Chain A
Amino acid sequence: GQSLEQPSEVTAVEGAIVQINCTYQTSGFYGLSWYQQHDGGAPTFLSYNGLDGLEETGRFSSFLSRSDSYGYLLLQELQMKDSASYFCAYPLDKIIFGKGTRLHILP
């Protein structure tokens, strides 16, 4: 089957760095996407890794290792507005999402 596993919750301090991990199982693989969702809002796209390595977009970076079936989202210089849920997903003919990681940020 196809599945993505990520921690249900992560807590970090404002200004710090946090990593959200995602492991996956799939019969076919094209890449790994990341989405952010604030409470009451819709998911919004953050980044995509189609190849192994690190992709950087401002304070957010995403990493992929296809040999380990593993990726992570790295958030730096955490701000209170980063409190949200984060989803990894892989796009096939349809898009499959993980269950999401709730990020709590402490002042």
Chain B
Amino acid sequence: NAGVTQTPKFQVLKTGQSMTLQCAQDMNHNSMYWYRQDPGMGLRLIYYSASEGTTDKGEVPNGYNVSRLNKREFSLRLESAAPSQTSVYFCASTLTGGAAEAFFGQGTRLTVV
């Protein structure tokens, strides 16, 4: 039982390049989330998907797009990377929206130069 799996673990991009961060969970969870974490800023919600087929903006959605491909997979796309998007990205899932316990992937450390 892998839980939440994120790929890649590390990535370096040049300004203007695009990339997709992949996330998959095998816990049959309905809700999935993408966060970014910067020093002193905690975990800030980028986008979330309360259930398969729905996505909603979080606190910091600008510069990102998401796709809930199916119940298991929720991807985050950076269309034109900027240095301000240098961060650690975490994918998480919960059984339902409002569930007490979230399960996190191991994170993607992204550097945009």
Residues of A participating in the B interface, judged by any CB pair closer than 8 Å: 8, 30-31, 33, 35, 41-45, 48, 50, 87, 89, 91-100
Contact B50 A44 (CB under 8 A): no
Given contacts A42-B90, A42-B107, A43-B90, contact A95 B102 (CB under 8 A): yes
Contact B41 A99 (CB under 8 A): yes
For the complex, what is the distance from the CA of A94 to the CA of B30, rounded to whole Å? Answer: 12
Contact B43 A44 (CB under 8 A): no
Tally of B interface residues using CB under 8 Å: 26
Q: CB-defined interface of B99-113 with A at 8 Å, one 1/0 digit per residue?
A: 111111111000000
Give chain A nearest CB distance to B83 CB in angstroms.
22
Contact A33 B100 (CB under 8 A): yes
Q: List 28 A-B contacts (CB under 8 A).
A: A30-B98, A33-B100, A33-B102, A35-B102, A42-B90, A42-B104, A42-B105, A42-B106, A42-B107, A43-B90, A45-B101, A45-B102, A45-B103, A48-B100, A48-B101, A87-B43, A91-B94, A91-B97, A91-B102, A94-B33, A94-B97, A95-B92, A95-B102, A97-B35, A97-B44, A98-B42, A99-B42, A100-B42
Checking A31, A41, A87 against B100 with a beta-carbon cut-off of 8 angstroms, the contacting residue is: A31
Contact B101 A33 (CB under 8 A): yes
Residues of B within 8 A of A48 (CB): 100-101
